[in-house]
Amino acid sequence: MKPLESFDFKGKRALVRVDFNVPLDENKNVKDETRIQSAKPTIDKILQDGGSVVLMSHLGRPKGFDDNLSFSHVVDTVSKVLQTEVKFVPDCVGQEVEKVTSELGRGKVLMLENLRFYSEEEKGDEVFSENISRLGDIYVNDAFGTAHRAHASTAVVAKYFGSNKCFGKLLAKEIEAIEKVMKTGEKPVTAILGGSKVSSKISIIENILNKVDNLIIGGGMVYTFVKAKGGKIGDSICELDKLELALDIEKKATEKGVKIFLPTDVCCADSFSNNANTQICEVESIPEGWQGLDAGEDTLQRFKAIILASRTILWNGPVGVFEMDIFSKGTIELGHYIAEATAKGAFSLVGGGDSVAAVKQFNFQDKVSYVSTGGGAMLESLEGKVLPGIKAILD
């Protein structure tokens, strides 16, 4: 497979699958430009070569045509970010679209309408895929956020381009970042897994036990582990049907020489509220009527020592209910430790919706090595799955 840099796009039309599934406010203005900014380096390279760009993406989960989810509301923001006029065509397949794309001059950019207005997109329909393929000479997939979907524009369309296909710069960086953690990372490798449920992280845990030296567990799933070992967790969240699984994970980790670190103390509250009464409790001695909602000070100092001694760090999931100020300290402190380790030369990858949201909320995005743009795709990569959108380019 040839990288983007090896293609000369002069006089060529690039069909670029981007992930412009951006949030819109009540007036249909773009609230967060991150995903558009992320695609800019790829688009710039094509335009600088003297090529033209046809952009395609999905937006939301429409059922048929839905003006609220039309890219007509997004195209002005794309023009602003790219610093060039972006034309818009109110469809993504058909004769009119083919005519407009064929007349697209060098250095010009065209945005297609929402791919998911057609149910054929999510079905991976062959005819729909072939119709899309007529809109470009070279196919570039730069949409990591949808690489885990076997949709027409992400997986099926690629086969109509032979060897004239490649990853965009963003997708290539995502693959490289995950490989640094899973394959080539300098040791010691530490994974920090947070979130509420063991069940949602079990596939990741099982896959990364062969790759990491340390596994820090935080968030709600801590209490399933503590309960499994006979601890008292009060009213804390717990998956009672996963107690055996938690013990099995600890056993497997020991067999593989992986050190698992659970909190020793937690910030407990008498209600799930910013106005709750709080106290610090030992993690296995939480009183009835109280629930653990953040990491305690002793825990954070232990986590800090592990993180600062690490050379490769994966952060997937917060260690507390950071959306409430009163329980945000643990997640903020964790961000500081990872930033400090990164400044000392460690490689740090942050991925998964909640941890990415925390990193943005507390302004750590420029203090870690890489923040993944793809929630589900990132998680499936960590589970060891080959993503359809990536396989389609490699085939």
**Can you say which residues are annotated as belonging to the binding site for ATP?**
201, 323, 352-355
| CA dist., res. 373 & res. 395, Å (int) | 24
Which residue, 257, 348, 349, is CA-closest to 311? 348
Which residue, 337, 380, 355, is CA-closest to 144? 380
Which residue, 338, 266, 339, is CA-closest to 298? 266
Strands (E), the chain: 13-17, 52-56, 86-88, 109-111, 138-141, 165-167, 189-193, 214-217, 232-233, 259-261, 265-269, 278-282, 285-286, 291-295, 312-316, 347-350, 370-371
106 is catalytic: no
Which residue numbers belong to the known binding site for substrate? 19-21, 58-61
Spatial neighbors of 72 by CB under 8 A, at least 6 apart, are 88, 90, 113
Structure tokens at 77: 């923001």
Q: Which of these is catalytic: 197, 232, 259, 302?
A: 197
Q: Which of these is catalytic: 353, 360, 384, 385?
A: 353
Spatial neighbors of 45 by CB under 8 A, at least 6 apart, are 4, 5, 9, 169
| CA dist., res. 111 & res. 36, Å (int) | 12
Per the listing, tokens 């005819």 go with 127
Beta strands across the sheet bearing 291-295: 278-282, 265-269, 291-295
Q: Which of these is catalytic: 17, 35, 45, 242?
A: 35
211 is catalytic: no
Buried b (16+ CB within 10 A) or exposed e, 38-68: bbbebbebbbebebbbbbbbbbeebeeeeee
Which residue, 179, 154, 142, is CA-closest to 41? 142
Task: Report strand pairing: 347-350 vs 370-371.
Answer: parallel
376 is catalytic: yes
| The total number of residues written for the chain in this structure | 395
256 is catalytic: no
Angle at 317 between CA 312 and CA 322, to 5 degrees: 125
Which residue, 86, 5, 78, is CA-closest to 38? 78
Task: Report strand pairing: 278-282 vs 265-269.
Answer: antiparallel
* Active site amino acids: 35, 197, 353, 376
